[in-house]
Amino acid sequence: MSTVKHNYQWDSTENAMAFINFTVVKNKKSFDAEKVFLNTPCFVTEKYDGTNLAKDDLGVIYSRRFALGDDEQEFIKTSLKEVREADVSKLKSILIEAAGLDPNNIVKCIVYGEFICNAWYDYEKRGLIGKWKVFAAKLEVKEDGPAVLAKFRELGFAVPHRSGNPSHVKLYGNEKFFELAKQADLDVPDVRGTDVSFAKMVEMNKDDMKTGRIEGLVITLNTEDSGYKFIKWKGSQEFQPHAHTNFQKANDLIQTSRTHEIYGSINTNSRDHTRL
């Protein structure tokens, strides 16, 4: 295995419970529960229990810390065939054309995906072992990173307001990104909600989350302060004590807000209301 480190790691994905705690508790003076949980559209996909692998337009594959050697055909005892065959350069060309970018300004295109290497849940039955589920991309540009970011935002891509590295342009998974990824013949996660509210997303997926049928959810949503956020919500099978404690504080505030009344009124046919 290669020991060559790289600087293209995917940032850690924010936990949904931490997001809820920050949104509700830390901003309680300006908190608008109805707006956040009922009126903010979410794009929701299945979260898989695998490992993060990235690939660039030159064909280099990256684990979280190291670049894999060209001769490596397996990772964590799982065939890399699907990842090796994925054509990232095709997606790069599609993104450049879609946004009307100068190709000479693009240094690198990196695509991030979840590599399914664990036989958990029903992954074997669904034929997911060895699949590479692409969820985001990053363009490294020579200059004008903020302008490129703004251009993608105008075109309907899910991007943050700003990047920690101005030469890196992040594109989170949403309908627009998935559409172009599919045009490049890249596999994407199963969609479990499009343009649905946070509350509706909970209602739609609560049974699978509570019974452990899936590992969790990944949610893309727009926020006023940071632009689009990319957050994960793990199922009940993995206890997260710190996140759970913070979530309880937020949940207490939500239960006393008008949002709970509204959500309860549209969900009266359910005998088991999921508490946000």
For residue 2 the two structure tokens come to 């290669």
DSSP per-residue string spanning 213-265:
SSSEEEEEEEETTTEEEEEEEE-TTS--HHHHHHHHHHHHHHHTSHHHHHHHH
pLDDT tens digits for range 71-91: 999 999 999 999 999 999 999
pLDDT tens digits for range 134-151: 999 999 999 999 999 999
For residue 247 the two structure tokens come to 């979530």
Strands 227-234 and 14-15: parallel
The pLDDT assigned to 94 comes to: 98
Q: Which of 251, 191, 221 lies closest to 17 in space, CA to CA? A: 251
CA atoms within 13 A on the CB side of 4: 9
The pLDDT assigned to 164 comes to: 85
How many angstroms from the chain centroid is the CA of residue 250? 22
CA atoms within 13 A on the CB side of 213: 9
Enter the DSSP assignment of 25: I
- Rounded to a whole number of angstroms, the CA Rg of the chain reads 19
The pLDDT assigned to 272 comes to: 40
Instruction: Give the Cα separation of 51 and 39 in Å (integer).
Output: 33
Among the residues of the chain, which ranges form H helices? Answer: 16-21, 33-38, 81-85, 88-99, 145-154, 175-183, 198-210, 241-255, 258-265
Tens of pLDDT along the chain (276 residues)? Answer: 567 889 899 988 889 888 888 777 766 666 676 788 888 999 999 999 999 999 999 999 999 999 999 999 999 999 999 999 999 999 999 999 999 999 999 999 999 999 999 998 999 999 999 999 999 999 999 999 999 999 999 999 999 998 889 999 999 999 999 999 999 999 999 999 999 999 999 999 989 988 889 999 999 999 888 899 999 998 765 545 555 555 565 566 556 665 555 445 434 333 343 434
For the chain, give the number of residues. Answer: 276
